[in-house]
């Protein structure tokens, strides 16, 4: 059997290696249009800054290794320009034909490059290949770069901004949306934005690029920004041209079935170029992530070898380093739920990385989205330690169709240096369960303006910092001062993180109040959002 794989990235390389493990006699050929095969794309921002020092560490494999270990033929600089489905061959740009029994399309995606004046200036770069990263490193080293601008606040854009800052380059990040990191909601993004500003990066939000000159960027707002180097990071577009020209079914990406077959049963596709089913909505979505691409390559190889294997939809589970913070997410965020008109509840909690009495515990913010049946729709978190581990747990519960109750029931590792007897995952489930059972009414930052605010912390905390307009009734005095609380107005109770205000709300509910709410994540989240808002206003002045 002859198998030709177009593309030597995560999906293509994974497919080729799995094929060889399953079939020693299969003739396997990888056609890669660049001069690189199987590189660690996700490490490129860190290679640009020298955090990853050795170039060889980015090279996961080489043509020689593929040949020696797997007897796989890799042809670099071999761009496929045509697929002949009838005669079952592909044609390269050098007019060479490669015949196949099974064909795999694993071409990935290309960086989006808008048609703007000056976009082809020699000091404007994208970050997709190792050569891209080499060019960035060399340009910085040879041109005394002082000012950098990153265009796009997605994962790669944020990572590039951080790594440019590590090089002591004055760095600005421009994002058309009103927040960076659109896979997460504003509460989580506010922590990341504040962390970036604290490390010297200026965020220019709700603005876009109008044009480039050699050393200046003009924004849609009219503002002009000097720059020595610019990094384009405004997203990627699936590579579908070859498939489309071959008459395969495409939409935004290549259409595939659960076995990752295209509309031609002898042609498979995987990686960033395909549409997958959303785990939450079952709609067709584009989710360009390395983990799914690797799994898809393995699944394609299984099916080629007669082993029925299916791709089980995508959750979009991902993680990002933002200086000393970690941001992680799985499933849908609020924006997507609202867009697709999916009803939901939300809770936000603050949990420590490990037991508070053990040294160096750090807090993290967790957000959980779920429906009235207790089905988990998404989760997000930001903090310094243990963030991704908790999101991974929630993603695994979701994958196995677990509900809120399974978060409560999860039996997770506990020792003081690592967690608490009630892990933040358990606490998140308990909080959601309380909301569903009606034991607490949640309130959020956006609810504060028209409510009576009661700070239930001790007077010392209240005097140090509170929310404007709030009165102080410490929880220890609540039962004796209950007559001071109105029953005809919406009352929001708050504390540092939301736990004490929950306790206070339970007291009042059992004294006949039905208008009391507990502020999710307390004044800790409120302060972070306010800090972010004030920075945005300052940036506009």
Q: Which residues are catalytic?
A: 42
User: Which is it for the CA torsion 335, 182, 348, 470, positive or negative?
Assistant: negative
1 and 23 Cβ atoms separated by less than 8 Å:
yes
Closest CA to 201 of 181, 222, 225, 171: 171
Residue 86 and residue 51: Cα distance in Å, rounded?
49
Enter the tokens of residue 216: 């200046």
Helix (H) or strand (E) holding 326: strand 325-331
Q: C-alpha angle 218/223/227, rounded to 5°? A: 55
Please answer whether residues 305 and 21 qualify as being in contact, where contact means their C-beta atoms are separated by less than 8 angstroms.
no
Distance CA 169, CA 490 (A): 49
What is the Cα–Cα distance from 232 to 235, expressed in whole angstroms? 9
Distance between CA atoms of residues 376 and 374, nearest Å: 6
Contact 435, 372 (CB under 8 A): no
CA 269 – CA 321 distance, rounded (Å): 30
Side-chain-side CA neighbours of 223 within 13 Å: the count stands at 14
Rounded CA separation 101/153 (Å):
42
Count of all residues that appear for the chain in the document: 541
Give the C-alpha separation, 266 to 537, whole Å.
56
Estimate the crossing angle of helix 155-166 against helix 186-198, to 10 degrees: 20
Residue with tokens 């307390």: 522
Structure tokens at 392: 């991974």
Q: How far is CA 3 from CA 30, 150, 267, in A?
A: 9, 40, 10
Q: Cα(91)–Cα(96) distance, rounded to whole angstroms? A: 6
Distance CA 312, CA 167 (A): 41
d(CA 515, CA 495): 18
How many whole angstroms separate alpha carbon 440 and alpha carbon 490? 14
CB neighbour burial string for 313-325, b if at least 16 within 10 angstroms, e if fewer:
bbbbbbbbebbeb
Distance, CA of 423 to CA of 161 (rounded, Å): 33
Question: Residue 428 and residue 379: Cα distance in Å, rounded?
Answer: 10
For residue 352, the cross-strand partners are: 363
Number of H helices, E strands in the chain: 15, 30
**Distance (Å, whole) CA 501 – CA 498:** 5
């Amino acid at each position: 059997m002859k198998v030709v794989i177009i593309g030597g990235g995560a999906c293509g390389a994974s497919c080729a290696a799995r094929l060889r493990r399953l079939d020693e006699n299969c003739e396997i050929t990888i056609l890669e249009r660049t001069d690189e095969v199987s590189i660690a794309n996700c490490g490129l921002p860190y290679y640009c800054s020298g955090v990853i020092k050795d170039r060889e560490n980015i090279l996961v494999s080489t043509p020689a290794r593929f040949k020696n270990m797997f007897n796989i033929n890799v042809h670099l600089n071999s761009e496929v320009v045509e697929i002949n489905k009838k005669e079952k061959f592909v044609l390269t740009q050098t007019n060479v034909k490669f015949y196949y029994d099974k064909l795999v399309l694993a071409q990935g995606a290309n960086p989006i490059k808008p048609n703007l004046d000056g976009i082809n200036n020699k000091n404007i770069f994208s970050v997709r290949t190792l050569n891209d990263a080499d060019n960035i490193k060399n340009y910085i080293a040879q041109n005394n770069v002082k000012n950098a601008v990153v265009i796009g606040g997605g994962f790669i854009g944020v990572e590039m901004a951080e790594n440019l800052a590590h090089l002591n380059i004055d760095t600005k990040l421009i994002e058309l949306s009103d927040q960076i990191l659109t896979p997460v909601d504003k509460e989580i993004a506010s922590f990341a934005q504040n962390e970036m500003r604290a490390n010297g990066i200026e965020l220019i939000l709700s603005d876009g690029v109008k044009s480039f000159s050699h050393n200046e960027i003009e924004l849609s707002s009219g503002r002009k920004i000097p720059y020595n180097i610019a990094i384009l990071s405004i997203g990627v577009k699936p590579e579908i041209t070859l498939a489309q020209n071959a008459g395969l079914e495409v939409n935004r990406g290549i259409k595939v079935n659960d076995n990752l077959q295209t509309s031609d049963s002898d042609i498979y596709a995987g990686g960033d170029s395909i549409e997958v089913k959303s785990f939450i909505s079952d709609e067709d979505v584009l989710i360009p992530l390395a983990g799914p691409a690797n799994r898809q390559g393995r699944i394609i190889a299984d099916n080629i070898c007669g082993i029925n294997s299916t791709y089980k939809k995508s959750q979009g589970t991902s993680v990002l380093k933002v200086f000393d913070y970690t941001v992680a997410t799985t499933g849908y965020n609020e924006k997507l739920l609202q867009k697709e008109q999916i009803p939901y509840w939300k809770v936000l909690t603050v949990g420590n990385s490990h037991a508070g009495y053990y040294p160096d515990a750090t807090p993290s913010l967790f957000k959980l989205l779920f429906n009235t049946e207790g089905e988990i729709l998404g989760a997000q978190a930001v903090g310094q330690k243990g963030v991704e581990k908790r999101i991974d747990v929630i993603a695994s519960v979701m994958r196995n169709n677990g509900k809120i109750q399974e978060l409560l029931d999860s039996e997770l590792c506990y020792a003081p240096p690592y967690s608490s007897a009630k892990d933040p995952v358990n606490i998140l489930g308990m909080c959601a369960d309380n909301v569903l059972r009606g034991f607490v009414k949640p309130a959020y930052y956006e609810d504060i303006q028209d409510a009576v605010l009661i700070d239930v912390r001790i007077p010392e905390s209240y005097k140090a910092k509170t929310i404007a307009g709030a009165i102080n009734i410490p929880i220890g005095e609540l039962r004796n001062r209950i007559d001071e609380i109105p029953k005809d107005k919406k009352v929001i109770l708050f504390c540092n993180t939301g736990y004490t205000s929950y306790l206070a709300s339970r007291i009042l509910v059992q004294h006949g109040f039905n208008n009391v709410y507990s502020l999710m994540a307390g004044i800790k989240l409120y302060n972070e959002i306010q800090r972010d808002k004030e920075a945005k206003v300052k940036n506009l002045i």
